[in-house]
Every structure is written in C-alpha cells, then in structure tokens.
Amino acid sequence: MCGRNSLFVPSSDLESRFDAEVVADGGYEPRYNIAPGADLEVVTNDAPGAIGRYHWGLLPLWADERGEGIVNARSETVDQKRPFEDAWDSRPCLVLSSGFYEWQARAGGPKRPYRVYREDGPTFAMAGLWDVWEGEDGPVPCVTILTTEPNELMEPIHDRMPVVLPKDAESEWLTAGPAVREELCRPYPRDDLTAYEVSTAVNDPGNDDPGVIDPLEHEQSGLGEFSPG
C-alpha cells in the first residue's frame, strides 16, 4: 500500500522535471509528511501541462463526506470495483513524490517506518486515478494511488507497494488506454529505488519538517541487517 507521501523539491525543479506548471490553489510548498486526507500534487491526463493539488482519497459518488475517500486501489482488481470503473477507463494521473513511507511489521514490537525513494532523481511519479466528487461546498478533485505486488526491495518491508512508474513510462500512463496501463501496473522493475528506516516521528502527520527523512541511527538501520520476521 502507500499510506504516506512527501514532495519537497523546489517548485522550479518540479516544473522542469514534469514539464508542467504549478497551478494549485495556494501555490506549492515543500512537504515531508503528507497523510491521507491531505492534498497531493498530481498531473492528470486532462491537463498534462499543469500540476494541481487533489484530495488524497478518491470519493465515490455515494460518499457523504471527504473522510470516506479511498486512499489506495489494488491495480489487479481496480477495473472490477465500482468506485473506480470510470476513473480506470478514462482518468489516469501521475502522483508526484520525493519518497513514500511504509511501515514494516515485526514480531514482538511496534511497526517500523521506512522511507523509500529513487536514487537517480529527487522526484518521481506513482500511478494514480483521479475523479471529481460533488460535495455540498462544491466539486472536490480527488485521487487514489494504485498498488501492486512488492519488488525485491519492498518485500521485506510490506506485501504491497505503490505502482512507481519508470520515467520513460510516465507519458504513456497518461495517454494509453486501459489495456496498456494494465501492463504498466507491476512491481517497480529497476534497481534505483532504495529504502532506509526513519524515526517514528513520521507517524504523526503534524511532524512535517526535514528531520522526518533523517535515517534512524541504530544497530539495525539497514535492510540487509535483519531477517524478515
């Protein structure tokens, strides 16, 4: 799954990387700890030259409030689930990220958070679907992040991972039809993702500062130093 995100590159670098202009209300500000229910920066197929902010949690038509948004969608079955049918057919988007967080369960102890990011660049895109929910106060653009099976890096941490798109597949994700996009929903195929353990400060969305991404310093901070329990 993907339960926490970050995006903290300078706006000029973000715009250059995705060849798009920030158009989000309120502009852009770096964030190190983005939780579900907040807004995510996205590029949609309807506006590939714009970076907007969408509510994290896709809201089905029958939802009564924002808190009922669906944060993640399993890519293997997304085309079979009623809340995502229309979005899967015609509303793909890129969810922009400087790195996401995942929690590893360990026997006899609390879950431990890891930061996962791409070594070859300061930001990347995850595969998402967008929609617009009509709430009492007006339309709410919303988004869900697609997930898939873990790759070799993620397997010791969690049994799911977001669909991280290789850079050369980002445009295809926005322009292709469902059959091609289905082929892109796979464990990240390259070896430029890395992960390290961070402090449990990330558990609190109120902790949104550069210290959140600092590696946790202890004897077993590396993924290679333990056997999955």
CB atoms within 10 A of CB 171: 13
State the pLDDT confidence band at 218, using cuts at 50, 70 and 90: low
Q: Are 14 and 38 in contact (CB under 8 A)?
A: no
Is residue 212, in this structure, part of any structural domain at all?
A: no
Tokens of 172: 């295809």
Average pLDDT over residues 118-132: 94
CATH of the domain at 133: 3.90.1680.10
Count of domains forming the chain = 1
% of the chain exceeding 70 in pLDDT:
94
Q: Pick from 140, 144, 126: which is nearest to 78 by CA?
A: 144
Q: Per residue in 44-76, pLDDT tens? A: 999 999 999 999 999 998 998 888 999 999 999
Is residue 144, in this structure, part of any structural domain at all?
A: yes
Q: Are 51 and 15 in contact (CB under 8 A)?
A: yes
Is residue 89, in this structure, part of any structural domain at all?
A: yes
Is residue 115, in this structure, part of any structural domain at all?
A: no
Residue 136's pLDDT is: 84
Is residue 40, in this structure, part of any structural domain at all?
A: yes
Is residue 42, in this structure, part of any structural domain at all?
A: yes
Residue 157's pLDDT is: 96
Q: Pick from 102, 73, 94: which is nearest to 85 by CA?
A: 73
Known catalytic residues are 2, 102
Q: Pick from 141, 136, 118, 139: which is nearest to 189 by CA?
A: 118
Q: Per residue in 70-120, pLDDT tens? A: 999 999 999 999 999 999 999 999 999 999 999 999 877 899 999 999 888
Domain that holds residue 134: 5-99+121-191
Q: Per residue in 146-172, pLDDT tens? A: 999 999 999 999 999 999 999 999 999
226 has pLDDT over 70 = no
- Beta strand spans in 107-187 (E): 109-118, 124-135, 138-148, 161-162, 164-165
Residue 221's pLDDT is: 46
Is residue 52, in this structure, part of any structural domain at all?
A: yes
Q: What is the pTM of this model?
A: 0.93
Is residue 20, in this structure, part of any structural domain at all?
A: yes
